[in-house]
Structure 1
Amino acid sequence: MNTQDFYIGKQFNFLKSMSFAEKEVLLNHSSKLEIKKGEVIFFEDEHLKKLYCISNGACKFSLIDNKGKEHITKLLGEGDLMGRRSIITNKGALVTATAITNTILYSIDKDPVLLSLEKNNEFCQDVLKGFIDDMEDDAKKITYFQNNKKLKVRLAGLLLYLAHKFGTEKKGWINISLRRQDMADILGTTSEYVISLLTSFKNKNYLELNRGNIKINSNQKLITLMNSN
């Protein structure tokens, strides 16, 4: 594998903090995985033997409650890592990771990662910064949509969050097509209600809909709605 493949690891900046020998070890213990939409990468409570980095596509972290309902806790995109906590603590994963688009991952064996953490202080600091990035993202989600405001307000925030995290293509369409059920699971409501709200937003010209795709016509209108009570 070419070292260029790892530049996408926003939270895994080992190219600057590792020696040539350390890089070679990791590269020799890594592989490229092509994951289909809907495929599970790892399950809740699974003890992981690999660290995963998203090269292209998107994944979700989720939990299943005692009634069998899924709760999506995090959306992940290009450059995000999965499994870091589990391999460091040697404990089972807290969540299930599932591809929500066709996704390309790079997996790295656990042992050389742990050895580098033990031997290389700069690399250890990079990994710690990744945990801080996660905390900042969690705070952002509270601002955008994980709060006690009305559902239409939180949906506006979720759409802005998706556009910010995954970006938009040239014509303005958000780069991720999220199932309405997934949006409902994030917001704690039903897919029918999400569809109704999206239709209302469309009628007010806040956005455009094309099958599963969404284009925001007015960021400012959604921001104003998100900031309302």
Structure 2
Amino acid sequence: MAKKTTLTEYLEDHEAEAMPRLARVRKSLSVVRRWLLRAILACAVIFAGWGLAYRWLNPPTTLYMMQESWRLDGVQYDWVNIEDVSPVMVRALVAAEDANFCAHWGIDSAAVRQALRDGAMRGGSTISQQTVKNAFLWQGRSWLRKAIEALMTPYAEMVWSKKRFLEIYINVAEFDTGVFGIQAAAGHHFGVDAAQLNRVQAGRLAVVLPDPKGRSATKPGAGLKKHAASVIAGSDMIAADGRAACFED
């Protein structure tokens, strides 16, 4: 007659069988965690070195430029030192995009809180954040990209000057479809060098930045002309009240 197995004995037998499998699963998870941490650390080191290099080296291209170059079969991109850009153009860009650029450490906390209240992934971006996004990351609304951007921006603020931020931003920003940087934009829109841009031209170029594919600097509507005029007035204001001091030394 076969021996009867009690419930306790049954559970003990199956527990003994399951333990080796559980140990293997735990070991596998430990290996995965270890390699994931190593990958995160490697990415952090790469981005830190990349960011430090751009303190002195000019970006040869960006991910978005490469994407557009492939799509359009080429883009216009011509680097220019910030000293060779019309000062009113630089001030207009700051007045239009981030008037308190000199006062913050890369993140505009008040603007971020407002964007979160609105439930949006847009809005609240400073010139510092936009520069990091344009120089290192990809376009589009993504919480992953925003998280990396939020981590990289304070680091870039530590290793770059405010003037360097603007120099990179004004050179990699898109001013029309496939037109990157203020030197290419000045020639494309007005047939002049960046150093020759006047007040009206500077204002119009500054206001196309939020939507370079949908706005025209050469054929602006009445609303865009009014906006450009207010940006130029704002550029005069930040020059007068000292908010341009960090990049006009």
Q: Going by fraction, where is strand more abundant, 1 or 2?
A: 1
- Return the index of the structure with the highest Cα Rg: 2
Greater relative contact order (CA < 8 Å, ≥ 6 in sequence)? 2
What's the TM-score bracket when you normalise by the shorter of the two chains?
under 0.3
Q: Please, what TM-score do these two structures have when normalized by structure 2?
A: 0.22
Q: Please, what TM-score do these two structures have when normalized by structure 1?
A: 0.24
Q: Going by fraction, where is helix more abundant, 1 or 2?
A: 2
